[in-house]
Amino acid sequence: MDPSFSFQFFYLIFLFAFSLLSTAAVVFTVASLYTSKPVSFSSTMSAIPRNALLVLFSLVVIGVLFLVVHVYITGLWHLASVVSVLEPIYGFAAMKKSYELLKGKIRVAGVLVFGYLSICGLVSVIFSTVVVHGGDNHGVFTRIIVGGFLVGVLVIVNLVGLLVQSVFYYVCKSYHHQGIDKTALHEHLGGYLGEYVPLKSSIQMENLDA
């Protein structure tokens, strides 16, 4: 996962939590002034812990929603990439086709995407801990070996992921009883390779007309 994306996510979480706490403090202060109750910093801060459970629950809900939406959009995006290669549609049309194909297979797609992101995240954490910031605990040779091994693992995971998403496309097509025209697919793939069918000569055309 992109570090800047993670930073933005945690920034939004912090901003939301701060917004809830500041709202509680302001509401308590205004209510105290309205009822002519003395207001002090300690009394205002005492109102905040009552909202700690609400803040915690809100953070959990936001985290779960973020994870679900992120996994769904990732699966939708990758399947749309496969659709744009294997079918003559692109852009939003490919996204719409991907959305239709995912119906009934969202749970399977979620498991696949979550597993892929989990493995990539684990590799990233180990790489950062051992290779990037492990100079005090690990030697240079160990860091090189571990770094090379983790890069190899990440390459294999990405290759397997590409293979899985290609197979998953055919699984979704089969689930929705959408046949695959091998002839049309062969011609469509031939367009990427610049293949063409030679035109018949004028002599051949005359023979056919005769």
pLDDT digits (tens, 9 = 90+) for 6-46: 556 666 666 666 666 666 667 767 777 767 777 666 666 66
pLDDT at 196 over 60: no
Alpha helix positions (H), the chain: 3-34, 41-46, 52-86, 91-102, 106-126, 140-175, 182-192, 202-209
DSSP, res 31: H
Tell me the pLDDT tens digit for each residue of 95-152: 888 888 888 888 899 899 889 888 988 988 888 888 887 777 778 888 889 889 999 9
Task: Tell the burial category of 80 from Cβ atoms under 10 Å away from its Cβ (0-12, 13-18, 19+).
Answer: buried
pLDDT of residue 178: 79
The answer to whether residues 86 and 64 touch, using CB atoms and an 8 Å cutoff, is no
Neighbours of 57 (CB within 10 A): 10
Confidence of residue 210 (pLDDT cuts 50, 70, 90): very low
First to last CA, the chain: 67
pLDDT digits (tens, 9 = 90+) for 38-88: 766 666 666 665 556 666 677 777 778 888 888 888 888 888 888 887 777
